[in-house]
Amino acid sequence: MRPYFEKMPGFGKPMKENRIARTQDSRAKLEAIEAEIAAAKKAVEEVGIPTAKINERGGLTVWQRLEYLVDPGTWQPLHSLYNPADNEEGTTNVVDGLGKIGGRWAVIIGFDNKVLAGAWIAGQPDNILRVTNLAKRLHIPLVWLVNCSGVKLPDQEKFYADRRGSGAPFFRHAELEQAGIPVLAGIYGTNPAGGGYQAISPTILIAHKDANIAVGGVGIVSGMAPQGGFDVAGLEQLINVTRDMKSKPPGSVSTHYDSTGFFTRVCDEETGVLDGIKEYMAMIPAYDPKFFRVAEPAEPQLPVGELYNLLPINQKSDYSFDDILARLVDGSEHMEFRPGYGPEVYTGLVKIDGMLIGAIGNRQGLLPKGYPEYADYPGIGGKLYRQGLIKMNEFVTLCARDRVPVIWFQDTTGIDVGDIAEKAELLGIGQSLVYSIQNADIPMMLVVLRKGSAAAHYIMGGPTANRQNAFTLGTAATEIYVMHGETAAVASYSRRAIKDKDSGKPLEPLAKTMNEMAQKYYDTSRPAYCARYGFVDEIVDLKALRGYLKAFAGAVYQNPKSICPRHQMLLPRVIKG
């Protein structure tokens, strides 16, 4: 299949100087938003006890542990700004992302030991579930840096119980292990109760000499029997018991290495634990990337930096999606699937780091005259019509057959509406795409380049495709909502406007209400909001997007659950004709 993949047709056009000049304002706005996001991420990194103080105590922070553990230049952080419960700490208190350890991709997560000694706090279980889902979808190891003081007791009602509460990750660890996906844990500090299960549920446990893990820590062991209240005598007794237990906390190394043998290994140095993880990573099955590469890796022919001039911050401006994609994929080469059919959507095979990937994206701007063919009105890019929906169904199905992972790029205002569109079966064909995606059982990722809107956000590989979507990225231009705020205000208040008008009421108050609604939609669809509440898994600089695409490609081909020999693939033959 070398003739198919080694050198694919080039695509994408160079930018002209006048266009670059004309888009400098948009570029500056994108870069300003990226700077705001970067500052917010930095603030999250610095939350809690200062690094110097942790180091004075002889420990490393989670960030320093990651720095030591992860191969330089491979860390692709996720959920940096995720804080769905609006915790005062500004974080869910875990740090996670994709990174290589000794040349192999892993999903890596650690408790932030600068904040409440790595406590469970609200929103954290959902963060962990996203991470365990990611390891499952990519079929790569999950590596934990456990340093967890257990429940933040004053807030327990927010996350302890519930179907997706803090105990759910332990079941997910078991689920990963049953799927043959190892969970490695480096264990530091005091890990009582919930922290104990965080430490015991992984597959291999490598502990620091001062670590302990236990069903219950000093606090609850010494005060377990409620006495109906507190008095001074009771407190005196509590103080004596706690002092005694603090000198030898339950579940220390002497218990769980020497006695139970739960710990696989104990290390005197903090970095020794991380060296141990590296050793175990080297034992885990992983294909050499060459096994699956269809060509030598190559950088895009067209400059990645021009993405800032190509993607307009103005949501109404059109642009060439093909030109954007050409700046993200190897050699700016592709094999387009059914060009001309369903022109509002791009579908094609591309290479990322030499690996074969299916790409799907919304095209923008005017569509050819006469399209959509079922209507007497013109078609516009960003919207989905019958042919585009059928084409995506076909492409996803063929990618699944050939075991080719898919990267989606959304900038969509939705599916065509109205009775003509209903007669054209768009509701049914849209749901067919959901079925095709669910049936595919291949890893997918999504980049919401600009708009993620209406049902189109769901059916184009959105994060609601829980079992297929590994993760979703946003950009500085991303906005995600069910519809534009002004459209929503019209939908909500148009009848009231008629009533108010007919009854002689002044219209100013209603106009104010509608403006407030539109503003709320704007405020709750910004990139930082999308990241905070989990609409996306990370907001990424445009210049950093390719790094995530490479991480995705490398991870999905590291140890895939199933393989299609390239000479038995159908999709390239269908494209060639």
Shortest Å distance, C-beta 207 to other proteins = 58
Q: Which of residues 21-50 bind other proteins (CB under 8 A)?
A: 22
Hey, CA dihedral for 159, 160, 165, 170, is it positive or negative? positive
Q: Taking CB under 8 A as the rule, does residue 155 contact other proteins?
A: no
Among 57, 163, 290, 369, binds other proteins (CB under 8 A): 369
Residue entry with tokens 């010494």: 222
Q: Which of 118, 150, 186, 194 is catalytic?
A: 194
Active site residue 151: yes
User: Does residue 365 bind other proteins (CB under 8 A)?
Assistant: yes
What is the C-alpha to C-alpha distance for residues 42 and 45, in angstroms, rounded to an integer? 5
Least distance from C-beta 497 to other proteins, angstroms?
A: 20
User: How is 358-371 classified by DSSP, letter by letter?
Assistant: EEEEE--SBPPTT-
Q: Please state, in angstroms and as integers, the Cα–Cα distance from residue 265 to each residue in 187, 209, 327, following that order.
A: 10, 10, 46
378 contacts other proteins (rule: CB under 8 A) = yes
Clarify whether 39 is annotated catalytic.
no
CB of 21 to other proteins, least distance (A): 11
Task: Report, in Å, the least distance between residue 365 CB and other proteins.
Answer: 6
Binding-site member from 19, 248, 499, 505 for other proteins (CB under 8 A): 19
CA distance 562 to 558: 11
Q: How many Å apart are CA 572 and CA 357, to the nearest integer?
A: 12
Between residues 21 and 38, which has the closer beta carbon with respect to other proteins? 21
x-or-dash pattern for other proteins, window 305-324, by CB under 8 A?
Answer: ---------x-xxx------
Closest CB 12 distance from other proteins, rounded Å:
12
70 flagged as catalytic = no
Q: Which is nearer to other proteins, 230 or 377 (CB)?
A: 377
- Residue 409 tokens read as 């790029």
201, 166 Cβ separation under 8 angstroms: no
Per-residue contact flags (x/-) with other proteins for residues 473 to 512, judged by CB under 8 A? -----------x----------------------------
Contact segment (CB under 8 A) with other proteins among 32-40, 120-128, 373-381, 534-542 equals 373-381
CB 569 within 8 A of CB 337: no
Task: Kindly report the number of other CB atoms within 10 A of residue 21's CB atom.
Answer: 10
Does the annotation count 195 as an active-site position? no
Residue ranges of the alpha helices (H) in 441-483?
454-459
The residues, any chain, with a CB within 8 Å of residue 555's CB and separated by 6 or more, are 98, 105, 138, 140, 443
Which residues 402-441 are close enough to bind other proteins by CB under 8 A? 413
Residues 6+ apart with CB under 8 A from 346: 321, 322, 325, 336, 359, 360, 361, 362, 363
Minimal distance, residue 366 CB to other proteins, in Å = 5
Interface contacts to other proteins, rule CB under 8 A: 13, 16, 18-19, 22, 314, 316-318, 364-366, 369, 378, 380-382, 413, 484
Write out the catalytic residue numbers. Answer: 151, 194, 415, 455
